[in-house]
């Protein structure tokens, strides 16, 4: 029987390139890319979803929603992946709050490694303002950055203390960042 896929968390401020890099990694490693933001946005447009309004409001405010909901969505998505040949799950933008991280580990299992993409705020703003997602207006972007600095920072501290964090400079062109990520992941045995 093949071992359980490793759970690799990919974190970083909004616009640091989590989604971009995870979709590249998916093609280059034997892994599955699961984006919590994409799962939440899919729920918002699901007809009759009882959670749509709550999620829409949280996304607009850059707030991290209830842990039960995100962990359930993430677990369902992981269960839905055909495991054949999948060595790792790349958890894009997850976990984002300490209680959510602890709840995930209790219900699903430990995170093996946390990859953090670093990028200066001015670059994040420039990238996001030239994209056109619904939460890419200046006010919401600032709230998302604040949430990362205040709330997700505590998740990083937790995993830092366990020696599970690796960092990559996301402020280079996409291919250079991808090459640097591949290097640190190989070094970490992924
Ligand atoms: N781009 C990417 N890399 C580049 C590079 N190296 N050079 C130049 N341009 C680059 O990239 C953003 C833009 O930059 C794109 O246009 C890309 O082409 C360009 P992307 O890869 O999308 O960056 P990413 O880090 O994924 O940014 P994203 O905006 O998705 O990050 P967020 O963390 O803000 O968004 P997410 O979708 O994860 O979460 C949205 C909201 O969901 C949260 O704010 C929160 O309200 C909610 N949420 C919860 O409630 N609970 C959760 O657990 C998680 C989220
Ligand atoms: Mg993203």
What is the rounded distance in angstroms from the CA atom of residue 58 to the CA atom of residue 93? 15
The pLDDT tens digits for 133-170 are 999 999 999 999 999 999 999 999 999 999 999 999 99
Half-sphere exposure (CA, 13 Å, Cβ side) for 54? 10
Instruction: Name the residue with the closest Cα to ligand 1, atom 1.
Output: 17
The answer to whether the predicted template modeling score (pTM) of the entire model surpasses 0.95 is yes
Q: Which atom of ligand 1 is nearest to the CA of 12?
A: 25
Which residues share a beta bridge with 92? 10, 35
Are residues 141 and 132 in contact, defined by beta-carbon separation less than 8 angstroms?
Answer: no
Atom of ligand 1 nearest to the CA of 35: 38
ipTM above 0.95, yes or no: yes
Cα-to-centroid distance, 48 and ligand 2 (Å):
25
Instruction: Name the residue with the closest Cα to ligand 1, atom 19.
Output: 127
């Amino acid at each position: 029987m093949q071992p359980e896929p490793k759970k690799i968390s990919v974190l970083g401020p909004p616009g640091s390139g989590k989604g971009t890099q995870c979709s590249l990694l998916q093609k280059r490693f034997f892994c599955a890319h699961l984006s919590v933001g994409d799962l939440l946005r899919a729920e918002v447009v699901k007809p009759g979803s009882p959670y749509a309004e709550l999620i829409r409001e949280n996304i607009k405010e850059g707030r991290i929603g209830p842990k039960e909901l995100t962990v359930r969505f993430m677990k369902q998505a992981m269960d839905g992946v055909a495991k054949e040949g999948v060595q790792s799950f790349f958890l894009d933008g997850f976990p984002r709050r300490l209680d959510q991280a602890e709840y995930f580990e209790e219900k699903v299992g430990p995170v093996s490694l946390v990859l953090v993409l670093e990028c200066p705020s001015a670059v994040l703003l420039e990238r996001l303002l030239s994209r056109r997602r619904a939460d890419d207006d200046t006010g919401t972007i600032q709230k998302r950055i604040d949430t990362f600095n205040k709330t997700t920072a505590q998740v990083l501290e937790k995993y830092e203390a366990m020696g599970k964090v690796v960092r990559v400079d996301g402020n280079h062109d996409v291919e250079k960042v991808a090459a640097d990520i591949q290097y640190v992941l190989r070094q970490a045995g992924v």
